[in-house]
Structure 1
Amino acid sequence: MPIPAPLPCAPETEALLLAQAQRLSGYTLGELASLAGIATPEDLKRDKGWIGILLEIWLGASAGSRPEQDFAALGVELKTIPVDGQGRPLETTFVCVAPLTGNSGVTWETSHVRHKLKRVLWVPVEGERSIPLARRRVGSPLLWSPDEEEDRQLRLDWEELMDMIVLGQVERITARHGEFLQLRPKAANARALTEAIGAQGQPILTLPRGFYLKKNFTRALLERHFLLCR
């Protein structure tokens, strides 16, 4: 297998981005880290975003920590997805932080969730805990945009969740709400509070929330794609 090299800058076309992602397929995380001169952590307990950062380096991602797509010039978001031996997602997929105030006039078409999901480069990575992090292999990538039905499904979930946020019911939202898109707390610790709207319309402090794609959505997406590729 030829030895790849990290892209020195953001790719100029989707074809170049996909081709580079395909070159990484089959390599272990340890091999890619070593070739890039990066240390591989023992596990992801304190380095949860390490895999994404490693692949951003190899693919020439430009966004960094800015709230835009990883490949802003192409309008493409990078999402790594840990999978089991049968290619099934092991975790929900974080999309973006949820706005808990200032949502007047926001629609699905103008939402940050839709902006993030309109074009995604999915990169499956072996995620079973029995496999040491350095030995986990990168899988075949998928460049995806939601079709009409997927967009409809996500819009319905987003509208349900945003209605609850606007009506002061954010603390009643559980992971069961939403068929494919869910809202969950996203904070480093319980002291990291943010402002939201309470049941009586009053300002309250609560944990930050994030939008996540449920595993049933990403599983169907991956199964459909890789079945078509066989």
Structure 2
Amino acid sequence: MKPQPKSEQELFNRAMDIAGVNFQELAREANLAVPENLKRDKGWVGQLLEWHLGASAGSKAEQDFKELGIELKTIPIGYTGKPLETTFVCVAPLIGVQGLTWETSHVRNKLSRVLWVPVEGEREIPLAQRRVGTPFFWTPSKEENSLLKADWEELMEMIVLGQVEQITARHGQVLQLRPKAANGRVLTEAYGGIGKPIMTQPRGFYLRTQFTARILGQSFC
């Protein structure tokens, strides 16, 4: 892995250096094998870019570039320039959530400053031939922050009230809560409706495609 960048500008320069390059070339430099597809290797693209950009956090709750206060998010886009899937933000806490606030939440921390790196995502393009797009930085506007905060507070209130299993993908305008596990057999502890512990699938926070499409549109208009 390359050393961590010492400034935001250095990070951006590195991201610009790989713009237009396909995954095969980037994987060769990183001495990584390109999987046939991403069905069993969903995080492979992110790991590849982390190697080239010098990210250090991996799967930790902190930002990918903690010293710079920046999170890295890859976003697969289609031929029309629209995102093809929701964007994972972080794992949701299901226990010990009393007293948590938006201001100190992992979601707010992760999204306070983001380096977005679009990548080609159309499935008909062989993974090795997909290319990296033009990167850009994003900081939530007051309106975007308000939308994120409202959704986070609604979802966390349901978790606190023991309603985690009543939460569906329809909850939340821009932020949603969905199962986040390698398979359905993975379980974690949460609170049930009467305050007793239950076992349920781990959950993760995701940004809706309509929201990330707006972010993309604002940056490339």
- The TM-score bracket by the shorter chain reads over 0.9
Q: Please give the TM-score of this superposition, normalised by the length of structure 2.
A: 0.98
Structure 1: state its 5+ residue gaps.
1-6
Query: Paired residue for 1:55?
Result: 49
* Alpha-carbon distance, 1:87 to partner: 1.2
The 5 Å alignment of 1:128-139 reads 128-139=122-133
Partners of 1:8 and 1:48 lie apart in 2 by 22
The 5 Å alignment of 1:61-140 reads 61-140=55-134
Percent identity reads: 64
* Alpha-carbon distance, 1:138 to partner: 0.4
Q: Please give the TM-score of this superposition, normalised by the length of structure 1.
A: 0.94
Structure 2: state its 5+ residue gaps.
none
Partners of 2:8 and 2:69 lie apart in 1 by 9
Partners of 2:159 and 2:2 lie apart in 1 by 42
1:42 is the counterpart of 2:36: yes
Residues 131-163 of structure 1 show CA distances to partners (whole Å, capped at 9, x for unaligned) of 000110100001111011100000000011011
Partners of 2:157 and 2:218 lie apart in 1 by 31
Partners of 1:67 and 1:159 lie apart in 2 by 19
Partners of 1:66 and 1:194 lie apart in 2 by 18
Partners of 1:36 and 1:103 lie apart in 2 by 39
Partners of 2:196 and 2:205 lie apart in 1 by 23
Moved more, 19-28 or 188-197: 188-197
* Alpha-carbon distance, 1:24 to partner: 0.8
**What amino acid is aligned across from residue 111 of structure 2 in structure 1?**
L
The structure 2 residue matched to 1:168, chosen from 162, 167, 182, is 162
Partners of 2:110 and 2:14 lie apart in 1 by 21
SS in 1 for 2:14: helix
SS in 1 for 2:32: coil
SS in 1 for 2:146: helix
Partners of 1:219 and 1:48 lie apart in 2 by 21
Moved beyond 4 Å, runs of 4+: none
Partners of 2:60 and 2:148 lie apart in 1 by 24
Corresponding pairs, count? 221
Query: Paired residue for 1:153?
Result: 147
The 5 Å alignment of 1:3-22 reads 8-22=2-16
* Alpha-carbon distance, 1:101 to partner: 1.0
Residues 27-58 of structure 1 show CA distances to partners (whole Å, capped at 9, x for unaligned) of 11111112222211111111111100100010
Residues 169-214 of structure 1 show CA distances to partners (whole Å, capped at 9, x for unaligned) of 1100000000000000111122211111111111111111000000
Partners of 1:71 and 1:194 lie apart in 2 by 28
Partners of 1:110 and 1:9 lie apart in 2 by 29
* Alpha-carbon distance, 1:65 to partner: 3.2
